[in-house]
Amino acid sequence: MELRRDFRVAARPAPQLASGLISPSGGGTLTRRALLQRAGCLLAAAGLPYRRAIAADPVSPVMTRLSEYMSEARNRALPDAVAEKAKHHILDTLAAIISGSELPPGAAALKFARSYGGERVATVIASNLVCGPIEAALSNGVMAHADETDDSHAPSQSHPGAPIVPAALAAGEKFGVSGMHFLRSVVLGYDVGPRVTMALGGLDFRDESHQSTHSIAGVFGAAAAAGCAASLTPQQMRWLLDYTAQQSSGIASWSRDTDHIEKAFVFAGMPARSGVTSALLVHAGWTGVDDVFSGADNFFLVNAPDSDPETMRQILIGQLGERYEITRTNIKKWTVGSPIQAALDAMEILRARRPFEADEVERVRVELPTTGARTVNDREIPDISLQHMMAVMLVDKTASFQAAHDTPRMQNPAILRQRAKVELVPSEFLQARMPSREAIVEITLADGTRLREHVEAVRGTAENPMPRSEVVGKARDLIAPVLGAAQGDRLIERILKIETTENIRELRPLLARA
C-alpha cells in the first residue's frame, strides 16, 4: 500500500510565494514528493549539495588537525620511550584480561562470547574461542576490568587500556595488521580518548554531570585505535568520531554495582564494543556528520553547555605528537582500586623503615581525598575496600592478587581483628590535590611509636614509574596461574618485541587457553 498524503495549501504571504513551493492562486495541490523535489531543485539552483546543506557546517581547523593526525598515526614513528611504555601497557592489559577471565565478570564475558560468537575473526583471550570482532572486543574488555588490575589515567578519570587494547586487537585481527601497526593504534587510542574527557573537565565533569568519564574516554580511545587498525582516511576518521559521539554513554550508577560486572561493562566492555563498531561501520562505507565537535548540537554543547567550546576543542589537539597520554597513564603495582594504591605504598615504606608485626599495631589512620575515600570505604568487594586491604597488608606484609580477590577471607577473624584498627579519614587537603592519588598513613604502635608517611607519587605513576622488570614481574604473576608459566613467558617475550610481528594474528596461540 502506498502511503501518500496530499497537502491542500492555502495562500501564503509573499515570502513563501517567492520560494516557488506553492502557486500564487493558493489553490494548487502538492504531494510530499513534489515538495521535496522542489526543495531539492532550489538547493541545486543555489549550488549547495543537498546533504551538505542539511547535515553539516564546514569542518573546523580543530577537526581537520585531529582527523589528519588520527589517519596518519599508523605510519608515524614513535619515540623509543613511548614505544617502550606502550609495550608495558599492552602487556599489563593482557595480563589483566587473562587473570580477569577467572573472576565472575570474566565468566560472564566468556559465556556471552560462546552464545553470540559471530564470524570467526578475533581471539577471545584465555579461552579457545574465536568470534566476531565486536563480540571479542566486548568480551576481552569486560575481562580487562573484571577487577582493579588494569591501568588508569588520572587527568581524564579513565581506565584507557581496558577498552583500547581489546579494540585494537579485535580490529587488528580483522584487518591483519602488523605488530608495529597494532602498537601505533594503541598509542593513538590513549592520545584521543583521554583528551575527550580532559576537554570536558575531567574530575569536575564527572562529579557535576554524573556521567561516566571512564566510558566516554574509553569509547573514543577504542574507536581511534580500531580506526587506526582499519587504516581509515581523514574523512573516515571524522565520521568515526561522529558515530562514536552517538554511542558515548554511561552514567555513574556503576558505583552501586556490587558484583563488578556492570562496572566492567561500563568501563571497558561497552566502550571496546562501540569503538570497534564505529570503525567497522565507517570502513563498510557509512557516512555521517563531518564535525561532531563543532556546529549545531555538537558533542561539547550537549555534554558541557556552560563551558567554552573553543577551549575544549583546543584541548583535543593540544600537543598532539609531542605529549603522548600513554606516558601519563599509571600502571598499578597493587591489584586493587586506585584510591588504595598510595595507602598500600605508604605501609610498605613505613615497614621498610621500621619493621613491625601486625600485633604490634594499635591504630592505623589513613587519609584519602574525599571522593576516593567515598569509593573505597568499607566496600563489600575486597579489592576496593580500603579497610580490608590495609588489614591484609598488616597480616601478609604484601597485597597479592589472590588476597585481593579472596572474598571469604573478609570474614576471617584474624583479618577482622586488624581491620578494626583501621580508620579512614576523608581529607579536603588531599582532595584539593586531585587528580593526584595521594594518601597519608599514620601508624601508632603499642609502645607509643608513631610512624607517618605522605605518599605523593604512587608507584607506577608517571612521577614514580615501574621499570620493565616490575611490569614483567606483575604480568608473570597474573598470567602463569591461568595459561602456565612457559606460555606466559613466551607471550611476555613476544609483546616486548611486538614490532617484529608481521601479523597480529600470530599472537592467538599465545593468548589462547589450551
Q: What percent of the chain has pLDDT over 90?
A: 82
Looking at the structure, tell me whether residues 286 and 360 fall in a common domain. no
Report pLDDT for 321.
96
Q: Is residue 64 part of a domain?
A: no
Nearest to 64, CA basis, from 268, 293, 231, 374: 293
491, HSE (Cβ side, Cα atoms, 13 Å): 30
Q: What percent of the chain has pLDDT over 70?
A: 89
The model's pLDDT over 312-330, given as tens digits with 9 standing for 90+, comes to: 999 999 999 999 999 999 9
Give the contacts of 477 (CB within 8 A, at least 6 positions apart). Answer: 400, 401
Report pLDDT for 256.
87
Report pLDDT for 437.
87
Report pLDDT for 19.
34
Share the mean pLDDT of the chain: 90
| pLDDT band per the 50, 70, 90 thresholds, residue 11 | very low
CA 417 to chain centre: 37
Looking at the structure, tell me whether residues 243 and 343 fall in a common domain. no
Looking at the structure, tell me whether residues 127 and 233 fall in a common domain. yes
Report pLDDT for 116.
84
The model's pLDDT over 25-60, given as tens digits with 9 standing for 90+, comes to: 344 444 444 444 444 444 444 444 444 445 557 899
- Does the structure show a pLDDT above 80 at 409? yes
Q: Look at residues 30, 55, 80 and tell me which one is the last residue of a structural domain.
A: 55
The model's pLDDT over 477-490, given as tens digits with 9 standing for 90+, comes to: 999 999 999 999 99
- Does the structure show a pLDDT above 60 at 250? yes
- Does the structure show a pLDDT above 60 at 132? yes
Query: Residue 34, class by beta-carbon neighbours within 10 Å (0-12 exposed, 13-18 middle, 19+ buried)?
Result: middle
Looking at the structure, tell me whether residues 408 and 284 fall in a common domain. no
- Does the structure show a pLDDT above 50 at 16? no
Across the range 59-71, mean pLDDT stands at: 97
Q: Is residue 203 part of a domain?
A: yes
Q: What's the CATH number where 417 sits?
A: 3.30.1330.120
Q: Is residue 199 part of a domain?
A: yes
Report pLDDT for 82.
98
Range of the domain at 15: 6-55
Looking at the structure, tell me whether residues 30 and 167 fall in a common domain. no
- Does the structure show a pLDDT above 50 at 21? no
Q: Look at residues 417, 440, 455 and tell me which one is the last residue of a structural domain.
A: 455
- Does the structure show a pLDDT above 60 at 158? yes
Looking at the structure, tell me whether residues 130 and 199 fall in a common domain. yes
Q: Look at residues 305, 328, 351 and tell me which one is the last residue of a structural domain.
A: 328
Report pLDDT for 55.
52
Q: Is residue 481 part of a domain?
A: no
- List residues bridging with 129 in a β-sheet: 124
Looking at the structure, tell me whether residues 89 and 109 fall in a common domain. yes
The count of structural domains within the chain is 3
Q: Is residue 269 part of a domain?
A: yes
Looking at the structure, tell me whether residues 42 and 116 fall in a common domain. no
Q: Is residue 264 part of a domain?
A: yes
Q: Which residues of 71-83 are buried (b: 16+ CB within 10 A; e: fewer)?
A: bebbeeebeeebb
Across the range 251-259, mean pLDDT stands at: 88
Please state which of the ranges 43-52, 333-342, 397-406, 497-506 shows the lowest mean pLDDT: 43-52
Looking at the structure, tell me whether residues 124 and 160 fall in a common domain. yes
Looking at the structure, tell me whether residues 258 and 342 fall in a common domain. no
- Does the structure show a pLDDT above 80 at 117? no
C-alpha cell at 67: 582527523
Please provide residue 3's backbone torsions phi and psi, each rounded to the nearest 5 degrees. Answer: -95, 115
Looking at the structure, tell me whether residues 96 and 229 fall in a common domain. yes
Looking at the structure, tell me whether residues 247 and 350 fall in a common domain. no
Which H or E run includes 349?
helix 338-353
Report pLDDT for 253.
93
Q: Where are the alpha helices (DSSP H) in 248-337?
A: 261-264, 270-283, 299-303, 309-317
361 within 8 A of 421, measured Cβ to Cβ: yes
Q: Where are the alpha helices (DSSP H) in 230-337?
A: 234-247, 261-264, 270-283, 299-303, 309-317
Report pLDDT for 39.
44
Across the range 360-376, mean pLDDT stands at: 96
Residue 436 to residue 455: CA distance in whole angstroms: 10
